[in-house]
Amino acid sequence: MAATVSAYLFVFLALFGMVASDPDLLQDLCVANKAAGIKVNGFPCKDEANVTEADFFFSGLANPGVINNSVGSVVTGANVEKIPGLNTLGVSLARIDYQPGGLNPPHTHPRATEIIFALDGELDVGFITTSNKLISKSIKKGDIFVFPKGLVHFQKNNGEKPASVLAGFNSQLPGTQSIAATLFTSTPPVPDNVLTKAFQIGTKEVDKIKNKLAPKKS
């Protein structure tokens, strides 16, 4: 299993390295210096004399993530925030785990195309085009599916067993906007009269949705 995952990791990185969405790098490496306090498009570079192998390593995708939410899925990212060496390289990964019946709710990645490889289980996946056409398919272990950059997409485990996928992105930090959470839990909030008009529902329904989607207090 480990050898299979390693092989697909290599394919993902090779593919997205050739078609990176982020700007091209201008030097061999630019390890992110997140403590610099400087705002740039990406992160400023760490002094190369201080770069180590740890800047290019992450073991957080080896095991399933702990699922503790109402939608029944969890995303574990392996992007520049976890791997500083990805800065300016235009690639990243994520692992998504699903309980039986679990959903990765409709969302977008504004800065990247996504390609997933099913590690285990069976999933119904799909995306919606700007002409409002749903492109969907049921996938199983070993299958690959692609979600074009910026389009709303989802994955749903309709099986009786847990499922998991490995996702590749052509961005060091693809960004994620969950449609429901973005509209109903933003700060400051989207005005109720916008939501009631857009969804053709009443204020009471808006309040119910906001209460259900509000982050749980620890």
Express each pLDDT in 140-179 by its tens digit: 999 999 999 999 999 999 999 999 999 999 999 999 999 9
pLDDT at 3 over 60: yes
Please check whether residue 174 is in contact with residue 114, taking contact to mean a CB–CB distance below 8 angstroms. Answer: yes
Annotation-wise, does 114 bind a ligand? yes
pTM of the model: 0.86
pLDDT at 218: 58
In the sheet that 144-147 helps form, which strands lie side by side, from edge to edge?
Answer: 73-78, 92-98, 163-169, 114-120, 144-147
Instruction: Please name which of 87, 91, 89 lies closest in space to residue 46, comparing C-alpha atoms.
Output: 87
Please check whether residue 167 is in contact with residue 97, taking contact to mean a CB–CB distance below 8 angstroms. Answer: no
pLDDT at 23: 75
The Cβ of residue 163 has, within 10 Å, a number of other Cβ atoms equal to 26
Residue 17 Cα to chain centre, angstroms? 18
pLDDT at 47 over 80: yes
Annotation-wise, does 107 bind a ligand? yes
Sequence-distant contacts of 148-152: CB under 8 A, at least 24 apart: 148/113, 149/21, 149/109, 149/110, 149/111, 149/112, 149/113, 150/108, 150/109, 150/110, 151/108, 151/127, 152/106, 152/107, 152/108, 152/127, 152/128, 152/179
Please check whether residue 213 is in contact with residue 180, taking contact to mean a CB–CB distance below 8 angstroms. Answer: yes
What whole-number percentage of the chain has pLDDT above 90? 81
Annotation-wise, does 104 bind a ligand? yes
Annotation-wise, does 153 bind a ligand? yes
pLDDT at 22: 80
3.40.50.1240, 1.10.10.10, 3.40.50.620, 2.60.120.10: which CATH number matches 48-175? 2.60.120.10
Annotation-wise, does 160 bind a ligand? no
Comma-separated ranges of CATH 2.60.120.10 domains in the chain: 48-175
Q: Most confidently modeled of 13-27, 155-169, 203-217?
A: 155-169
User: What would the pLDDT profile of 98-143 be if each residue is shown by its tens digit?
Assistant: 999 999 999 999 999 999 999 999 999 999 999 999 999 999 999 9
Q: Which residue has the higher pLDDT, 214 or 62?
A: 62
